[in-house]
Amino acid sequence: MASEAEDGQAISGVWYAPQTSRAMTATLRLEDGGRLTARDEAGAVLASCELPAAAFSDRVGSIPRRIAFADESAFETDDNDSVDRLMQPLAKRGSGLVHSLERFHPRLAVFVVLVALLAAAIYRFAVPVLVEVAVLVTPPVVPELLSSSTMTTLDNTVFEPSKLDAETQKDIAEGFDKLAAASAGGADGYSLNFRKGGHIGPNAFALPDGTIVLTDELVEMANDNETILGVLAHEIGHVDHDHSLRQVYRAAGVTGLILLIGGDVGAGVEDILIQGSALLQLRHSRSAEAEADRFSIELMHRTGHDPLAISRFLELIRDKLGDTSESDFLSTHPATPSRIEETKRYAEELMATMPD
């Protein structure tokens, strides 16, 4: 009895000599208290090694099992159940396949958590990074196309030619040219366009190629060139920081950005390029507004203008249009108390540290 338990039952199958496909009918059995041995029909030993030295293929349905000996010969059988029984001592020893799978479970849980964290990190960090990459690789034709299509759409739908008198236009344009000359894009990097705003009302906005639009309604509301220049300096800030382009790219999402960077313009971006007015529906983030405000304060100060002009303008829209106005300008440029306070604080700090 003892010897039968130790030797186990013979498993029928086929044996392959090392590095050949020559097959030979054989039996496999655990002998001598632990040696895995294959014998031919006459009982001669074909291969033998310690059980842990043999390599067992995984059990996959009814596919025949392959057991490789240390000498690289192999035994194949479709008697999967007997092979599993043969492998039991390995599982008990703690080095078998079954045991290693059990041990893997805690690691699997950690892996799943890591994948979830990675996915969250992609949404948190990859989009801003991809947006920056897209801005860097954007050829000049993209902002030009975006801007010209937006202007065409607006001119065909809401805008009318400006009714401002020539002198007012000339005064504002001269001040604007000086601001432009002192900015990164230079005198030719920006163009000021006067328009009657229609239902858009008092507004000023910048398109990504440096096209800046100023409505008659805003000029009339401000009624002060210095205040208007503060607003135009703010718009130059949006251009210099590529705020509109970033908004378009953020709207394109991860997939759109990857396609875009790869040179394949996605459907979403294509829509925006064709229907330029979509650009106007994109709102600048709070941080982009704050950045453009600081830009205005610095540029106005640098060119000998009043750095508090933008604060005055924000107070003006708060007073004239109220916080709940449906003005397009207010929805894209909210004159919140904290924003007014912050622009004043920054302008005064700048004037104190860098007097004219």
Q: For residue 144, give the H/E element and its range.
A: helix 141-157
- For Zn ion, the closer of residues 77 and 215 by Cβ is 215
- For Zn ion, the closer of residues 195 and 284 by Cβ is 284
Min dist CB 127 to Zn ion, Å, is 21
Contact yes or no for 56/97 (Cβ under 8 A): yes
Min dist CB 222 to Zn ion, Å, is 15
CA 167, 170, 176, 178 dihedral sign is: negative
Cα 237–chain centre separation = 24
- For Zn ion, the closer of residues 289 and 298 by Cβ is 289
Contact positions toward Zn ion, by CB under 5 A?
289, 292, 333
What is the residue-wise DSSP string for 25-66? EEEEEEETTTEEEEEETT--EEEEEEGGGSEEPPP-TTPPEE
What's the token pair of residue 197?
């705003």
Report the distance separating Cα 164 and Cα 218, nearest Å.
11
- For Zn ion, the closer of residues 74 and 292 by Cβ is 292
Min dist CB 270 to Zn ion, Å, is 26
- For Zn ion, the closer of residues 292 and 347 by Cβ is 292
Report the distance separating Cα 242 and Cα 245, nearest Å.
5
- For Zn ion, the closer of residues 77 and 203 by Cβ is 203
Residue 122, classed as helix, strand or coil, is helix
Min dist CB 288 to Zn ion, Å, is 7
Min dist CB 234 to Zn ion, Å, is 6
Min dist CB 289 to Zn ion, Å, is 5
- For Zn ion, the closer of residues 292 and 335 by Cβ is 292
Find the residue with minimal CB distance to Zn ion: 292
Q: Calculate the alpha carbon distances from 212 to 38, 237, 303, 320, 328 in Å.
A: 87, 11, 19, 23, 16
CA 184, 235, 355, 168 dihedral sign is: positive
Q: What angle do CA 207, 340, 351 make, to 5 degrees?
A: 95
Min dist CB 166 to Zn ion, Å, is 28
Contact yes or no for 46/35 (Cβ under 8 A): no
